[in-house]
Amino acid sequence: MPLLQVDDLRVSFAGVHALQGASFAVDPGTVTALIGPNGAGKTTAFNCISRVVAPRSGSIHFNGTDLLRQRPSELVRLGIARTFQHAALFESLDVLDNIRVGAEAERTKGSASQVGDVLDLLGLAEHAHDDVAGLPLGSRKRVELARALASRPSLLLLDEPAGGLTHQEVMEIRDVLLSIRRELGVAILIVEHHMAMIMSMSDHVVVLAGGRQISSGTPEEIRNDPEVIKVYLGAGDEQL
């Protein structure tokens, strides 16, 4: 049974169809990617799942719960955590206290050992007492990821975690995410433009274009799909 099930999601903004019938699922402990050119509807889908945007029609179920009946504040309790394209950190706090915020939001309250485990997993232990305001972008993204993990989610929503990073940092964050899946069993739904990263870490890929879902399958199936190739070449985005 899928952990997350999205069916026939439709969203319009002032007559513009941002999503036109997107349907996909995320199985427990797997990595699913949402890809597509700018304006494809990826972030809109994310915002529907995280209850920032209300769809015109369709359904979203998480672990048997109807998410469209839930408030955004209920998502952490249910087991969903999200990061953003631009790391949203508490600039006045150090690394440790930023992560503690996530642990305090956790359904059964986080422990000191839990926070320590997350620091170790993300390679942040030596920076625990550094102010986040002075950290480079790659480290800031790790702190936001660590804070999300501290809430002990079953599903992690990642919005462009590789944005703005160097190639080496992109591959490092990919390896971190694969470690998270392997060691914690967390399912990941990721929006990302870095195709080398996506194709080397995903179990399933969903392709959106102009609000429509044009393809869905394994990375190899997506890489060889003529319609996907046409969309990417036409958009001038990074090639598959």
Closest to 199 (Cα-Cα) out of 35, 12, 52: 35
Kindly give, in sequence order, each residue whose CB lies less than 8 Å from that of residue 175, ignoring residues fewer than 6 positions away: none
pLDDT-derived band of residue 108, with 50, 70 and 90 as boundaries? Answer: very low
- What are the chain's domains? 1-79+154-240 (3.40.50.300), 89-152 (no CATH)
Reported in sequence order, the residue ranges of the chain that DSSP labels E, i.e. its strands, are: 4-13, 16-26, 31-35, 57-62, 65-66, 80-83, 155-159, 187-191, 204-209, 212-217
- Contact call for residues 148 and 106 (beta carbons, < 8 A): no
Residue with tokens 């990642």: 158
Please state the three-class secondary structure of 51-98 as a single string.
CCCCCCEEEEEECCEEHHHCCHHHHHHHCEEEECCCCCCCCCCEHHHH
- CA 117 to CA 41: how far, in whole Å? 35
Q: What is the pLDDT of residue 240?
A: 64
Nearest alpha-carbon partner for 85 in 24, 137, 27? 137
Give residue 113's pLDDT: 67
What's the pLDDT tens digit per position in 33-64?
A: 999 998 899 999 999 999 999 999 999 999 99
Residue listed under structure tokens 């944005």: 163
- The CA-based diameter of the chain, rounded to the nearest angstrom, is 51
* The pLDDT of residue 103: 78
pLDDT band at 236 (very low <50, low <70, confident <90, very high): low
Task: Report whether 182 contacts 11 (CB < 8 A).
Answer: no
Report CA Rg, the chain.
17
- Tokens (6 digits) for 200: 């080397």
pLDDT in tens, 65-82: 999 999 998 999 999 999
pTM of the model: 0.91
Specify whether the CB–CB gap between 234 and 62 falls below 8 A.
no
d(CA 64, CA 30): 18
What is the C-alpha separation between 11 and 210, in angstroms, rounded?
12
Which residues are CB-neighbours of 81 under 8 A, at least 6 positions away? 75, 102, 148, 149, 151, 153, 155, 156, 157
- By percentage, how much of the chain surpasses pLDDT 70? 93
